[in-house]
Amino acid sequence: MIEGAANLNATSDVENPAKLCDRYYLFGDGTIILRDMNPDGVNPGLVPRVASCCRRPQLIIDQCANCTFDLCEECGYSCVECHEFICHTCVTLFGNRPEEAEHPLCEVCQMFVS
């Protein structure tokens, strides 16, 4: 039992890496902005991978916070309130018209922000 307690403390000291939405801001047009302007050691370099949504090499590949579809920097937006990534489909589906895409809100934030 003492060994188990020692292992519990050892695992709690390990830092969890930040999510992509905590590091980067997406505009839905391929533009990526760093949230904090820290050196590259804190913001690791992004490696292009083929995105399943666009079938092209993209730097940011993640899932939509609303529908869990895949998104990339070309079709993903950052919620202006909670900074979670949301896909273009959800931006238009959940009441944000394309002309309102400069202030996209995720499903949860739309319940609280009018």
What is the Cα–Cα distance from 25 to 97, expressed in whole angstroms? 20
Say how many C-beta atoms besides its own lie within 10 A of residue 66's C-beta. 20
Each residue of 82-103: pLDDT tens digit? 999 999 888 887 665 555 567 8
More confident residue, 22 or 12: 22
Confidence of residue 13 (pLDDT cuts 50, 70, 90): very low
Quick: pLDDT tens for 37-82: 665 555 566 788 898 888 888 888 899 999 989 999 998 999 989 9
- Identify the band that residue 114 occupies on the pLDDT scale cut at 50, 70 and 90: low
Question: Closest Cα to residue 57, out of 45, 43, 47?
Answer: 47
